[in-house]
Structure 1
């Protein structure tokens, strides 16, 4: 029986050529210094349009790549923030800002929060990434998101996510609701 298996295998692999090298092809190299330099230079370039949204970039709070973010507006109950931090409040929307310029991230964040408030959503997730940079500079989008969320009038508080939802690369954001007519809560 063993000879039959061997002869079947031998006939099945007839004509197959062995691989000449033992290294896997992982695709293109990850570090393209010219592209990275270009993206960094254009990350803060504006297109000349001025959009009034109430979010200021005059003073951006620098945060580290692995730093946990936490902020709460006065009057918000500690128990609600504990639930938010523990991932116990279900987020109903999510926005990913990875790889965007600061201006594009700002625009998308403002529009996303406006839409969430329009539909009376209580909690959303914003993924800003960690952008741990080799040159030691602050994570650009993470620092800006941390600053902008504090300025938005509809944001009650925010905290870094649980690891399963992005950890220190994302935040849960609790929003004000006006309580639509007929809603039971």
Structure 2
């Protein structure tokens, strides 16, 4: 195929089309999304697990936290709890009567809310509750903080008989069903 010298070539056509255009000084696209402040996130994460100097009266220790994986199923029962009860709990056959969502909170705030929630459930003589702890798939490969702490705290709580990860429709491995002791209140006729 021969080229007609009277017609402009591609380079000349490009120059004509871009005449008056200014060269872009920045070679990165602006997506409109704010940049991640990695220093701030690191500081917040470190602050979430830093112990405070105040004295705890709830009996739950953070001295040894059992690390768990994001998708790991949690299951635990206190001595004397029948396997059939734990199976019913795991299969969702024991309806939960209250629920709390802790994911996204600091460890201290999660601890406070969990303690208050379990105390209220005990006062109301609730048999089963659900706690959503999340599973925080972390980029650094470390274990989910709140899930690991909840797993540890529940094993220490005097009113907890057992707990298991929830069915998928109730949060799956990001939540637990908790079986609680029922303390009969004085003055009740049952």
* TM-score, with structure 2 as normaliser: 0.77
1:132 matched residue in structure 2: 137
Matched with 2:95 is 90
Q: 5 Å matches for 1:19-98?
A: 28=33, 32-98=37-103
Query: How does 1:79-118 map onto structure 2 within 5 Å?
Result: 79-118=84-123
- CA distance in structure 2 between the partners assigned to 1:54 and 1:27 by the alignment: 47
Residue 32 of structure 1, CA deviation: 4.8
Question: Aligned pair 1:121/2:126, yes or no?
Answer: yes
Alignment coverage as a number of residue pairs? 158
Q: Which runs of 5+ in 2 are unaligned?
A: 1-30
Instruction: Give the Cα–Cα distance (whole angstroms) in 2 for the partners of residues 67 and 57 of structure 1.
Output: 20
CA separation in 1, counterparts of 2:166 and 2:32?
32
CA RMSD across the alignment: 1.9
Deviations 1:2-50 (A, max 9, x none): xxxxxxxxxxxxxxxxxxxxxxxx9846955344223202202345432
Tell me whether 1:179 sits opposite 2:184 in the alignment.
yes
Deviations 1:40-93 (A, max 9, x none): 022023454323110001111110000000000111111111110001111011
Match of 2:154 among 135, 149, 152: 149
Rg bigger for which structure? 2
* Structure 1 pair 35–163 and aligned structure 2 pair: CA distance change class (3 A): farther
C-alpha distance 27-109 of structure 1, shift in aligned 2 (>3 A): farther
* Number of the residue aligned with 1:6: none
